Amino acid sequence: MSTTARPGDAVTSSAASPLFSSLAGLTSLVVLLQGLWAGLFVPVGKGGPYQDTWVEVHSWGARIALLLALVTAVVAFVTLRARRDLWSGAIALLVLLVIEFVLGAAISDSSSRGAAAVHIPLALLIMALTVWLPLRARRGS
């Protein structure tokens, strides 16, 4: 006897939901754009001034990335409980983005650029995680 899934039936699957995959992909895109926008305002020479317009764009991009990461983590935790790799990865991404946001605020709030020594390498780690999440979502459990 075979059964056919009908709309509305609860289906237990180890695959990621299209909603999670879409949110993880959007988060990844915003993180990628963050690197582009940062490259448009980081001074080339020592002591050069930041270009305020791109700093503001980068700041808003950080807020959007945080919001998307929060929604992605909630969706992963609620809908993909069986996929611990995905929801724990999404929560790790959210935590790293919060740390990154705080470091970014420290860079812009002071004349010291010391926080950039952690902010920029952490951004690369975050980019790697945003690439890993959607790729991992495509794999089964």
> Is 90 a domain residue?
yes
Task: Write the pLDDT tens digit of every residue in 89-98.
Answer: 999 999 999 9
**Choice between 125 and 141, residue whose per-residue pLDDT is larger:** 125
> Is 56 a domain residue?
yes
Biggest alpha carbon distance in the chain? Answer: 74
Task: Write the pLDDT tens digit of every residue in 3-23.
Answer: 454 554 444 445 668 999 999
> Is 95 a domain residue?
yes
Give the chain's domain count: 1
What is the per-residue pLDDT for 34?
Answer: 95
Query: Is it the case that residue 29 has pLDDT exceeding 90?
Result: yes
Rounded CA-CA distance 13/112 in Å is 50
DSSP symbols for 89-133: HHHHHHHHHHHHHHHHHHHHHSS--TTHHHHHHHHHHHHHHHHHH
Rounded CA-CA distance 68/32 in Å is 13
What is the pTM for the complete model shown?
Answer: 0.81
Rounded CA-CA distance 77/87 in Å is 5
Task: Write the pLDDT tens digit of every residue in 105-121.
Answer: 888 776 556 788 899 89
> Is 13 a domain residue?
no
> Is 71 a domain residue?
yes
What is the per-residue pLDDT for 113?
Answer: 63
67 contacts: CB under 8 Å, gap ≥ 6 = none
Taking phi over 0 as left and psi of -120 to 50 as alpha, with beta for the rest, 47 belongs to left
With contact defined as beta carbons under 8 Å apart, do 96 and 48 qualify?
A: no
Could you tell me the residue range of the domain that residue 64 belongs to? 18-42+49-138
> Is 9 a domain residue?
no
> Is 5 a domain residue?
no
Q: Which amino acid is at 61?
A: G
Tokens of 76: 């992963």
